[in-house]
């Protein structure tokens, strides 16, 4: 089975196992998902979800955040780690959204990745989940691990992994495959002790048993 056929089979087998394909981060708008995804770097989604209610109460949109003092934002996001850089980037991103995009989250990869603190992974998550646009595949820790184990890439570089994976999956599935691999990585194909005997992909995984 070549990589393209394997990719089709992965989607076919995992979709019934994980019917709900949404981020674990709590959000109600593209702005909220953008903020939450930036805060989730090197932090658990659960922790971020305890921080964002107060964050959005104080700064409910880019215009409000653009006028925030960075020190005040630091205080609110402190528990997410790397809080100084995250606060600095979020305020700067909000100011750019206000000055260049009318106070809204831009809807293109180019404009999103021009925002401070926003790389392709974050942009892909926002575009796919909040704006309904599949411009690429978000490569996080789980996608990085499973894409290698499943023989979809030979690289550990997220940029190269994304380029390797995009031709293998239908564009309509680019957003879904991130969720499917994240969920499967958490439930079955774990980093240290993958449950290969319980894996629905066991017979097509080229690195079964590692």
Q: Which residue do the tokens 């017979």 mark?
A: 203
What are the Cα distances from residue 26, in Å, to 54, 130, 196? 13, 12, 31
The per-residue pLDDT for 154 is 92
- Is 121 among the residues known to form the active site? yes
- Is 133 among the residues known to form the active site? no
The per-residue pLDDT for 95 is 98
Decide if 113 is inside a domain. Answer: no
Radius of gyration of the chain (CA): 18
| Alpha-carbon 148 to chain mean position | 18
> How many domains is the chain built from?
2
Decide if 115 is inside a domain. Answer: no
Selected catalytic residue, list 12, 86, 121, 203: 121
Residues 151, 190 within the same domain: yes
Selected catalytic residue, list 86, 140, 164, 173: 140
Residues 58, 91 within the same domain: yes
**Which residue ranges of the chain lie beneath pLDDT 50?**
none
Decide if 187 is inside a domain. Answer: yes
Range of the domain at 200: 3-21+137-204
The per-residue pLDDT for 71 is 98
Whole-angstrom distance, CA of residue 127 vs CA of residue 122? 9
**Token representation of residue 96:** 């750019």
Whole-angstrom distance, CA of residue 7 vs CA of residue 15? 12
CATH of the domain at 62: 1.10.340.30
Whole-angstrom distance, CA of residue 152 vs CA of residue 66? 41
CATH of the domain at 143: 1.10.1670.10
Contact between 140 and 162 (Cβ < 8 Å): no
Whole-angstrom distance, CA of residue 26 vs CA of residue 89? 20
Q: Which of 104, 124, 155 is the last residue of a domain?
A: 104
Whole-angstrom distance, CA of residue 189 vs CA of residue 185? 4
């Amino acid at each position: 089975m070549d990589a393209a056929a394997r990719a089709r089979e992965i989607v076919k087998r995992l979709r019934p196992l994980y019917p709900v394909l949404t981020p674990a981060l709590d959000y109600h708008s593209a702005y909220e998902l953008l903020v939450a995804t930036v805060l989730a770097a090197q932090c658990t989604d659960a922790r971020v979800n305890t921080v964002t209610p107060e964050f959005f109460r104080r700064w409910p949109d880019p215009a409000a955040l653009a006028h925030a003092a960075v020190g005040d934002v630091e205080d609110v996001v402190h528990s997410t780690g790397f809080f100084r850089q995250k606060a600095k980037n979020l305020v700067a991103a909000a100011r750019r959204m206000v000055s260049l995009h009318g106070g809204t989250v831009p809807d293109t990869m180019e404009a999103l990745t021009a925002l401070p603190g926003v790389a392709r992974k974050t942009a892909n998550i926002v575009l796919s989940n909040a704006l309904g646009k599949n411009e690429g595949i978000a490569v996080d820790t789980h996608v990085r691990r499973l894409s290698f184990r499943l023989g979809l890439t030979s690289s550990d570089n997220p940029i190269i992994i994304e380029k390797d994976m995009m031709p293998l999956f239908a564009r309509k599935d680019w957003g879904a495959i991130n969720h499917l691999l994240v969920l499967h990585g958490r439930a079955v194909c774990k980093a240290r002790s993958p449950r290969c005997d319980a894996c629905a992909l066991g017979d097509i995984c080229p690195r079964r048993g590692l």
